[in-house]
Structures are given as C-alpha cells and as structure tokens.
Amino acid sequence: MKIELEKSYEAKKYEDKIYENWEKSGFFKAKVDKNKKPYTISMPPPNATGMLHLGHAIMLAIEDILIRYHRMKGYEALWLPGTDHASIATQNKVEQQLAEKGLDKYKLGRKHFLEEVEKYVAKSQNTIRNQIRKMGASCDWSRERYTLDKGLTNAVQEVFIRMYKDGLIYRGDRIVNWCPRCESTLANDEVEYKEANEKLYWIKYGPFTLATTRPETKLGDTAVAVHPKDKRYKEMIGKKYMIPGVLGEFEIIVVGDNAVDPKFGSGAVKVTPAHSFTDFEIAQRHKIPAKSIIDEQGRMMANCGKYEGMTTLECREAIVKDMKKMGLIEKIEDYQHNLSVCYRCGTTIEPLISKQWFINVDKPVIKEGGKKVSLKEKSIEVIKKKKIKIVPDRFNKTYFNWMENLHDWCISRQIWFGHRIPIWYCKSCGHQEASKTKPLNNCAKCKGEKWKQDEDTLDTWFSSGLWTFSTLGWPEKTPEFKYFHPTAVLETGYDIIFFWVARMIMMTSYALNDIPFKTVYLHGLIRDKQGRKMSKSLNNGIDPLEMIEKYGTDAVRLSLVIGNTPGNDMRMYEEKIAGYRNFVNKIWNSARFAIMNVEKEDLEAKFTPGKIKSLADKWILAKLQLLIKEVDEDIKNYRISEAGTKIYDFIWNYYCDWYLEISKGEHKNPTVLLHVLKTFLKLLHPFTPFVTEKIWSYIEKTSLITEEWPEYSEELNFKKEAKIMEEIREIISQIRSIRAEMKVDASKKIHAIIYSKKRTKELEEKRESIMRLARLETLEISEKGPKIKNAKSIYIGDIEIHLPLKEMIDSKKEVNRLNKEIENKEKYIKGITAKLENKGFIKNAPKELIEKQKEQLEKEKQNLKNLRSQKENMV
Ligand SMILES: [Zn+2]
Ligand SMILES: [Zn+2]
C-alpha cells in the first residue's frame, strides 16, 4: 500500500502544531542525568519589552542548531531561556506611554510607577515568548528566568554584598557620563559618538588665549593646563592668575600636565574638573578643586548668577554674547568634532560629578595559587590561557585591548526600574550597612533604629553578568548548578562583547572563581542587500515574523545561517528567504517522491548493508558517509554555514539530481531509499526542524527531535563503487554538456560509443540510466575499438566516449578549437613543469602541494594526449 503525502508543503499549516507537540511532549526539558554529559546554553535574554528582530532570530537559529545537534548526539542538552528587565530601555518606553497620557513618573511616585512598568513587562514578555517559539527554539521553558525575578534578585544582592564586604564596591564622587534626558549615569560603553558641526571659540583668558567648544563651562573653571615642556608657558606653571569673567574676576592656577596636546589651539586649555573627564583627571593629579555648575537636568546651577536655570545651550549663547560685549571673544571658527550621546535616547551626554557606586577592577581579590589577582587580571588570564575560546579568535585582541584600558565600572543608575542597591543608611547618622532586606539591628554607630535604602538601582549588566549561574539556582549549590555549569557556549553578536561577554567573565570569575562558558561564538551583524545597516530611518529592516508568516520558519532559519560566518556581517533580503523556501519545497518533493515509491510494508523492512548490490545505492551511501563525517566536524567547530551548505548540496546535487533520477529507471531498493532519506532528515533536522519532523511523521512513529544523530559507518563507505559511479555520472554530465554545446534539441536522441577498458560490466549495469539521462538512441559499450571519425570525444580516466555527431560538426571549426586548446594546454604543462624543476620551490613548498602539482601534471598530460587524438579523428 502506498503512503500519501500532500502535494506541496505549507509551512503555515504545520509549524505551530509541530512546536506545540514537541513542547507538550516534554522534549525540550533537561534534567540532571549523571549518565549523560551535559551541554548547556544560556539564551541571551531578550529585553522583556522587546520585539523579535533579526539579531534575535539569528541567535535563536544558531543556538537551536547547536542544541538540537547535541541533544541528538546523546548529551543532556539544556537551553535555558529568559528575559532581561533592561532597566533604561524599559523605563524609557513606559515614560513615553505616560507622557502620551500627560503623566510622568514623579506624578505617579516610585511605587505606582513601578507597578505600571511591571504591567507593561508582563504583557510584552508574552509577546517575546511566543516569538521565540515561532523561531522553533527548543528551549526548556520550565526553567525560564527573568533578571528581576526573586531568585535572580537574591543572586544579585548576594554578589553585591560579597563584593562590598571584600572592598570591591565603593561609593565615591566621580565624574560620570550623565544623560539629562534619562536622568541617569551611563557606562562608558553606553555612550555613542556622533559627528557634529560645532563652533570653536577663541577666548581671551587673562594672560592666555584659549580655544574651547564649551564657553559656558568657564563658570566652573579652576585651572589652566599646559604641557609641562611647552616653552611658551613653562615659566607660568604653579602660578595663580586672576581671570576676567562675565560674573567678575576669578582665580585659576596653571598646571603642567602631559594630557595637554600642545598642538591643539594655543596649547593652553581651561580646566573644568566637574564637567569633563580629562579635566577631572587632571584635577585629581594636581589636587585642584572641582566646581559643579550644571545640574542633573542639564541646567545651570544657582552659582551661575543670571544664567541660573538656563540649559547649557541657552547659556552658551548668552555667555558668548556677554563675552563679546566685554571684548573677551577673539574669534569663532567652525569646528567638527565627535559629540558624546546617550545610546538609548541620543541626548548629548553631560559629564558631571556625582556620588555613584563603582566596582574596583584593579583590586587583587580573587585567589589564584598563593596570591590574589584583580577582576581585570583574571578576566584577561582566562582568555590568554584559553580556558575560554573566542570564535573567531581575531576578537581576542579587541577583548584584551578593552580589558586593559578598563576603569572602575560605575554600577549605579538613577533609574527606578531595576535592582535597588542593597545598601541601607542610618537615618540619624548616615552610617551605611549592606543587607538584602531592611536591617533588623540598630545602627552600630549611633544605635539609631531607622533605616533608609539607597535610592539608586544597579546597572542592568550587573544582573545579566550573573546570567549563566544565577539562572541555575546559585547561590544555593543546586544539583542543576553543579551539573550544568559552566555552560558550553555563549552565542551572541560581536557588538555586545564588552557590554555583556566581558562582564559575565568578570562577575563569574569573582563569584565562582570559574568561567561562565567554554566558548564565545560571535555572530556578525545583519545588513541589507546593499550592505547598509538596517535602521528605522532607512526603512530597510526586515521583520522576521513577517517573513515567517510568508515563507515559513525553516526558510528564514536557513537564510540566516547559510552564508553566515562567525564575526562577519551578512546581507539579508527577502529574495534570499524566498530562495530557501524553494529549497524547503525541494526537500518535501524529494521526500514525497521517495515515500511514494515505497510500500507501507517497506517501512518495516530492515536496512541490511550486506544485501546492497546496485552501484547507485553504494555510491549514494558512500556520499552520505562522507557527509555525516564532515557535518559532524563542521558543527563541532562552529562551521555551521559550511555544514548547512554541504547538506544542501547533498540533497540538491546528489540525492535529487542523480540518485532519484537514476531510481526512476531500472533500479529500486526501498530500504536504501528510506535509509538515505531518514539519515539526511536527521542531519537536516537542526537546520529545518519543522519540515523534517513533518516528513518523519509519515515514515516513523517516533519524533525526529528525539532520534539519534547518524554515525559514520566504514561498512557503508563503498569507496570502490563510489568511484565507478562518479565516472558514470561524469559520462552522463559530459554527454549532456556536449549536447548543450552543439545545441542538440532536447527531444533528439543521439548515438554514443564507449570504449570502457575494464569497466564494461559496471557500465552495462548502468546502461539504462546512461541512456535515459544522456538521452541516447543507441549505446555501444566495448572494451576498445577503432577510431571514430568526425565525432565529439570525451575522455574520463581511461574511458573513451565518442559521439558521432557527423553532420552537426563543422570539422574546420572543431580543428581550430582543438588547436587552440592544445596550445593552451601545452603552455600550462610547461608552466607546471618549470615549477617542479625549480629547486627553490621543491625545497620550500609543503610536501602536499608538490604532490598535488605532480598529480596535476600527470592529469594534464593525459588531457593533452586526448585532445591530440580528438584532432586526429577530425577529417
Ligand atoms: Zn538618555
Ligand atoms: Zn546611626
């Protein structure tokens, strides 16, 4: 009895149901199993308020391939999903929504505002969960986590308090990147740079003339700095001067500092310690006081007299006007420079001094042998000693460079939404204590009873830095934590290496004295067809969900994975996805053809390699063995694109174009047909889980997702027969290309004569296939024979194929063509021969290369011989 398959595959009809079935059957769940090796991936948590974009889609596709592959390989594969509360991003979104209703967070108050945020988060978490499901992600939903859930909050507090007690976390007045719009500090790498056309103001400044882009900061100046070796100013260093200003005279001191570039402007710069990073550092080195003049809303403070309350830009305009009146402006030039802006909202960053919490990255605290090393040293060491491998390894350099230049990490944020800093202050005396909850004891200093918690929250990377272990129950030493940690691989975009990857390494080094993952796989970013970044303003983005709706998840996954190599950006466009939808259809059609060609009873028949007789069967099985071997190696080494390409080529070029074509004729062996089909379905499953699972359901009662990964079998690698079959394939292809070259009508059948040397028996076996696929009227096969005049001839190894196309061949033209080819061939042979006679080459070239060249020479000599005898056959 025949098995019926639908004529065409409609992804939309099946995908959701298949996913639901996998999930319901518990196939995604991982448990502690001492008899199996664990394989763990912590899914990079998308923002809780996010929408699935191509960056997520690519991460999900690659990770799902790795997880499905390892699950089939017999590992206990855990893929732990979750979401990130993404404090600034989420708070901004809710604030925008409130603004539309004429509300703001201050009107609501902290408590109600946070309730609004949580409501919003709960709603959007569901959206992102369903979108992850749409991608076919086989993650363990029973272990889903959220960076703000109870367990993770506990882990965050635990690490904070330990670090605090170790003296790694401190609070200090430091200059920070401040976003006046978000009203929060930003980490250095959360600052973006934007080229801007500004003005450079040359101002008269007592005995100096200075160039500055920010004349309004003059109100906070406390020094002038020059290069210590600058002859123009050497005498002035250490002296104090009174400087005329718009609010009256003020005093500065001149300092010599190597940070000053004597070539910029006049070589002397004004120092505003409270509002510039460089100036802050100069001030620290020379013990110069700082004077804050700009507040947290980016407005001039009360000490700015008539400028009080102005924004910095308003103040700049006003102060320049006043300075002009006083004759203090020498000239104004156009000036292009990089402006620091907030990576979340694009507002210009205002550096200012503020009381913040920092992590000291230089303090030796992690035990290492007999000594202690700092977070920075440890994080560099784990990569240097290859405890963690970065793929591709060129990012090692980027990582080291960033780590070596790392300053203390500012972890406090003035955002309401996030992990509140677990520090409590005594209301009477200000004494501080670290505690997860309000201290029950009285103040150790003044015996006061009332406590107040720090208002700030933690940088969102503080919690995501703990992600690999906080999600496994840490600080409890749970069986899951012991079994699944460290994780196998962290797969993410290279743009996030510092934000997240580096911080995970630092935090795990500290908390566990261990690594969070063994490998970091960095994928490239996605660009449009022209190679441009995708952006809202260009409107060139592609919505993965829309593409899934149109072409199915399998096609979207293939288009994201094939052609995508680690660390390199890739282009993405709709036609590409449509192309892979065609491939998915091809898979379906080829499977359908195979399945329609077997009987239901064949499904029960055992696959017995000993019974295989046909050349084509042995050939496809041998090809399949090579494929298994290579795909395995590729995936193990993160060459996912190569693995996908090889399976694609196998199905398209070998299975469909040849094996199925041949089996349409004389030969049929259902067990081989099924064995090959089932094997490549398994290989393909991690890449296109849906269509393969659907096909599987027609031939097996099990689920493909739980099947074992195919093993390479030496017994099925029929090398000898595969070689012969390759020759036959070559014969057919060559005849076909001569037909095309001579423009022989597709319906016209031609004659062929083959001198087979020792291959007669095998060629006879495939006579039907050769005749049918090469469209032959007659085929003579004999070991050898006389020369055939006016024929097109092909030589494959020592097999000769002659096509007596007589009247179709213009012999003059053909002789000319052959002469030209002979000439080229002779030149080429001369070239290789000269190379092989060159002593320098023989001495320096790798052995394999020399061998290859020798082989090539022999082949070309044979080809030349063939060409010459072809010419002789022409009349
Ligand atoms: Zn901002
Ligand atoms: Zn107290």
Tens digit of pLDDT for each residue in 275-317?
998 999 899 889 999 999 999 999 999 999 999 999 999 999 9
Res. 870: pLDDT tops 90: no
CA distances (Å), origin 605, targets 669, 810, 857: 11, 55, 49
Residue 667 binned pLDDT confidence (cut-offs 50, 70, 90) = low
Of 396-400, 682-686, 689-693, the range with the lowest mean pLDDT is: 396-400
How far apart are alpha carbons 672 and 655 in whole angstroms?
A: 12
Ligand (nearest to CA of 448): 2
Res. 189: pLDDT tops 80: no
Res. 546: pLDDT tops 90: yes
Residue 185 binned pLDDT confidence (cut-offs 50, 70, 90) = confident
Tell me if 141 sits within 8 A of 28, measured CB to CB. Answer: yes
What is the arithmetic mean of pLDDT over 27-37?
97
> How remote is the CA of residue 345 from the centroid of ligand 1, in Å?
4
Ligand (nearest to CA of 183): 1
Burial bucket for residue 73 (CB in 10 Å: 0-12, 13-18, 19+): middle
Cis peptide, bond prior to residue 786, ω within 30 of zero: no
Token output for 687: 């890449």
> How remote is the CA of residue 385 from the centroid of ligand 2, in Å?
48
> How remote is the CA of residue 164 from the centroid of ligand 2, in Å?
19
> How remote is the CA of residue 420 from the centroid of ligand 2, in Å?
21
Res. 4: pLDDT tops 70: yes
- Across the chain, what does the average pLDDT equal? 92
> How remote is the CA of residue 173 from the centroid of ligand 2, in Å?
22
Return the pLDDT at 338: 87
Return the pLDDT at 788: 82
> How remote is the CA of residue 108 from the centroid of ligand 2, in Å?
31
CA distances (Å), origin 547, targets 40, 56, 129, 206, 523: 29, 14, 18, 66, 21
Token output for 212: 């500055």
> How remote is the CA of residue 433 from the centroid of ligand 2, in Å?
10
How far apart are alpha carbons 84 and 149 in whole angstroms?
A: 10
> How remote is the CA of residue 342 from the centroid of ligand 1, in Å?
5
> How remote is the CA of residue 438 from the centroid of ligand 2, in Å?
14
What is the arithmetic mean of pLDDT over 145-171?
97
Res. 331: pLDDT tops 90: yes
Please report, to the nearest 10 degrees, the dihedral formed by the alpha carbons of residues 647, 648, 653, 658 taken in order.
60
pTM of the model: 0.84
Ligand (nearest to CA of 340): 1
How far apart are alpha carbons 657 and 470 in whole angstroms?
A: 51
Return the pLDDT at 740: 87
**What is residue 436's DSSP assignment?**
S
Residue 742 binned pLDDT confidence (cut-offs 50, 70, 90) = confident
Return the pLDDT at 666: 62
Cis peptide, bond prior to residue 273, ω within 30 of zero: no
**pLDDT, tens digit, 9 for 90 and up, residues 617-657:** 999 999 999 999 999 999 999 999 999 999 999 999 999 98
> How remote is the CA of residue 413 from the centroid of ligand 1, in Å?
12
Residue 663 binned pLDDT confidence (cut-offs 50, 70, 90) = confident
> How remote is the CA of residue 91 from the centroid of ligand 1, in Å?
11
Ligand (nearest to CA of 429): 2
**pLDDT, tens digit, 9 for 90 and up, residues 432-458:** 999 999 999 999 999 999 999 999 999
Return the pLDDT at 754: 94
**pLDDT, tens digit, 9 for 90 and up, residues 193-239:** 899 999 999 999 999 999 999 999 999 999 999 999 999 999 999 99
Determine what percent of the chain is predicted with pLDDT higher than 90: 70
Residue type, 25: S
How far apart are alpha carbons 79 and 489 in whole angstroms?
A: 11
> How remote is the CA of residue 182 from the centroid of ligand 1, in Å?
4
> How remote is the CA of residue 180 from the centroid of ligand 1, in Å?
7
Return the pLDDT at 359: 95
Who surrounds ion ligand 1 at CB < 5 A?
A: 179, 181-182, 342, 344-345, 347
> Measuring CA to CA, which residue among 205, 271, 215 is closest to residue 243?
205
Residue 875 binned pLDDT confidence (cut-offs 50, 70, 90) = low
How far apart are alpha carbons 96 and 36 in whole angstroms?
A: 49
> Measuring CA to CA, which residue among 511, 448, 441, 444 is closest to residue 481?
511
> Measuring CA to CA, which residue among 177, 172, 498 is closest to residue 360?
172
